[in-house]
Amino acid sequence: MTADAIAGDLGAAVRVDGLRVELKTGQAVVEDVSIDVRPGEVLGLVGESGSGKTTTALALLGYARPGSRITNGTVEVAGHQLTGRGEKALRALRGRVVSFVPQNPATSLNPALRIGDALADMLRAHAPNRSRDESVLATLGRVELPPNRAFARRYPHQLSGGQQQRVTIASALICEPSAVVMDEPTTGLDVVTQSRILDEIDRLRRESRLGVVYVTHDLAVVAAIADRIAVMYAGRIVESGSAREILSRPRHPYTLGLISSIPDHVTPRRLRGIPGVAVGVDERPVGCAFFPRCGQRQQTCELEPPPTTDVAARHQVRCFEWRVTPALVAPTPLGESEARPSIAPLLRVERLRASYGGRHETVVAASEITFDLAYGECLALVGESGSGKTTIARCIAGLHEPSAGRILLGDETLAGKAKARSLEERRRIQIVFQNPADSLNPRRRIIDEIARPARLLRGFTRQQAGQETTLVLERVRLPARLARRFPGELSGGELQRVAIARALAANPDLLVCDEITSALDVSVQAAVLDLLGELRRDLGLALLFISHDLGVVASIADRVLVLEHGHAREEGPTRRLLAHPREQYTRLLLESAPRIPEPASTTSFGDA
């Protein structure tokens, strides 16, 4: 059933007109944003970090972050105007008329509150006359969680990541609102869990006629769920229309660039990021904000902002040159990886077993894992959350001691703990974590972060380490001026490059990458993957690449090892394994992975 059919004549679930959110300094974070979401319709709000997506999403609840305020425009949900109301009136509407699903359920659920009690609190605040026990169990069932009291009595830490996200969705639905705002609700989830959550959202919006605003940087996810798409850049909507039109014939060069950056596991291709970086609030030019990065810019674009132009019914674009935006055509696939070098492997893992001991039981995270890795080769570990990927990576880096088996670097068996390994062994294996903000010292300048491994592991003097910092920053394509900044002054993409640069300062032979692109914008992700490819070619660097994104794996890995519940299910060359999987579990992963349908042509993407 289409969203139009669901909507009928019920009017808009969400209507935003001329929204402006600005800082106390008067600078606009979001400007002239207008959207219209019908009952039963999903609007995908997409764009890079800093584009204004989350600011717009929060404004749909009548909320502005500290230091900002809504200064113009109207926000209306199911006939209730939210702008201009006091905080007490807004609190009465939030949860009952419009609700919110956050990106990270672990930080939004009260760890001291049972999930049934948390849901009951929502009813107590917004629907006090409804039966709490009955409604809580019924809502758990709606999101396909066990509808029984035993499950309702669990605490958040007793649930998996997917179950926690379903609880946040249940919390958003229990008071039966007209609209739900979802801010990156599947980022960081494995493809199987993500697919189930997306199916759940699709079913709930059809059954309950919910208007859904789905905020994400992942257009492949949007392709699986959205009826319409609004693309944001520098606080404005630069293109909006039906999902089918936007994904098959984008008219704004920024939209085309985003789509060109998306990896695909069915047709692996070399990714191309958008040149430059997104402009900050205080860096926006007088004319078109995308002008500095645009390949089809004209002088007019620099002098004045483009107006909103109708391309077709409900398809609009902000671009003077939208008529010359190249058509989107199918990419040229990557060829099969070259044969593995016939030399002794750099790393060998033999019958590795790793476990975690609890008070009452021992959990085996990985069992009988065997593989090897050659110089300059990339091996990807894939599987659902809990499959053992990160535990294996931590064992190799010496951060988790195996309970059995052995790890060899060249011909030498490595000690289980990093502190028991020699400086040379620690230098040769470096790890880059998923969240660079958590692994970098916020009180230490970038130059000191990068120089530290060069001094400790290579014996460099302070002057030599400073020179090495300049070299590795250049290698990861970061300007030398960033060396004097603190981590809090950098973007997510810049932080990830700093984390890679810090690892390179040790001059390693093996780089262990643990979900390093999962939270990055697709354009930044493409640039990081391109960087890793260069490092492999130029330095002979080997990569152990952990990811739940099969499109990313297809674009970078030579071989894939599929893991399920700590056991190796199958291993083989990337193209062959993804095209002809032997195991049912691998087929499940592939079927669950989101992707954008390809255009009919088989040539390459037009230049953006």
How confident is the prediction for the chain on average, in pLDDT? Answer: 88
Is the model's pLDDT at 68 over the cut of 80?
Answer: yes
In order of 364, 368, 376, 398, the CA distances from 408 in angstroms are 21, 15, 17, 12
Q: Mean per-residue pLDDT for 122-142?
A: 89
Q: Mean per-residue pLDDT for 93-102?
A: 92
Q: Which residue carries 């910092």 as its tokens?
A: 469
Report how far apart the first and last C-alpha atoms of the chain are (Å, whole number): 35
Using pLDDT thresholds of 50, 70 and 90, give the confidence band for residue 336. low
What angle, rounded to 10 degrees, do the helices at 522-539 and 253-260 form?
50
Of residues 5 and 385, which shows the higher confidence score? 385
Q: For residue 181, give the H/E element and its range.
A: strand 179-183
**What's the whole-model pTM score?**
0.83
Token output for 394:
């931590």
What lies within 8 Å, CB to CB, of 116 at 6+ separation is: 136, 149, 152, 153
Query: What is the C-alpha to C-alpha distance for residues 420 and 263, in angstroms, rounded to an integer?
Result: 40
Interior angle at CA 362, CA 361 and CA 364, nearest 5 = 145
Token output for 228:
């319409």
What are the pLDDT digits (tens) for 372-429?
Answer: 999 999 999 999 888 899 999 999 999 999 999 999 999 999 999 999 999 999 999 9
The pLDDT assigned to 35 comes to: 94
Is the model's pLDDT at 505 over the cut of 70?
Answer: yes
Give me the percent of the chain exceeding a pLDDT of 70: 93
What are the pLDDT digits (tens) for 186-236?
Answer: 877 788 888 888 888 898 888 889 999 999 888 888 898 999 999 999 999
Using pLDDT thresholds of 50, 70 and 90, give the confidence band for residue 307. very high
Most confident of 135-144, 151-160, 488-497, 580-589: 580-589
Query: What is the C-alpha to C-alpha distance for residues 390 and 84, in angstroms, rounded to an integer?
Result: 48
The pLDDT assigned to 490 comes to: 81
Query: What is the C-alpha to C-alpha distance for residues 96 and 397, in angstroms, rounded to an integer?
Result: 48
What lies within 8 Å, CB to CB, of 337 at 6+ separation is: 558, 559, 573, 574, 575
Instruction: Please check whether residue 54 is in contact with residue 527, taking contact to mean a CB–CB distance below 8 angstroms.
Output: no
Query: What is the C-alpha to C-alpha distance for residues 53 and 234, in angstroms, rounded to an integer?
Result: 10
The pLDDT assigned to 4 comes to: 44
Token output for 444:
């230490």
In order of 12, 179, 213, 310, the CA distances from 4 in angstroms are 11, 16, 16, 20
Is the model's pLDDT at 575 over the cut of 70?
Answer: yes
Domain ranges of the chain: 108-176, 375-402+412-592
Is the model's pLDDT at 603 over the cut of 50?
Answer: no
Domain 375-402+412-592 has CATH 3.90.1150.10: no
The pLDDT assigned to 330 comes to: 61
Is the model's pLDDT at 5 over the cut of 90?
Answer: no
DSSP string, 359-381: SS-EEEEEEEEEEEE-TT-EEEE
Please give the order of strands across the beta sheet that includes 510-514: 429-432, 510-514, 542-546, 378-382, 559-564, 567-573
The pLDDT assigned to 1 comes to: 40
Of residues 335 and 28, which shows the higher confidence score? 28
Torsion of CA 291, 295, 298, 304, to 10 degrees: -20
The pLDDT assigned to 405 comes to: 96
In order of 5, 83, 353, 403, 546, the CA distances from 391 in angstroms are 48, 48, 10, 12, 11
Residue 432, CB-side half-sphere exposure with 13 Å CA sphere? 29
DSSP string, 94-115: BTTTEEEE-S-HHHHS-TTS-H
What are the pLDDT digits (tens) for 134-180?
Answer: 999 999 988 888 999 999 999 998 887 778 888 999 999 899 899 99
Query: What is the C-alpha to C-alpha distance for residues 111 and 579, in angstroms, rounded to an integer?
Result: 43
The pLDDT assigned to 604 comes to: 37
The pLDDT assigned to 149 comes to: 92
What are the pLDDT digits (tens) for 243-277?
Answer: 999 999 999 999 999 988 888 888 877 777 788 77
Instruction: Please check whether residue 414 is in contact with residue 428, taking contact to mean a CB–CB distance below 8 angstroms.
Output: no
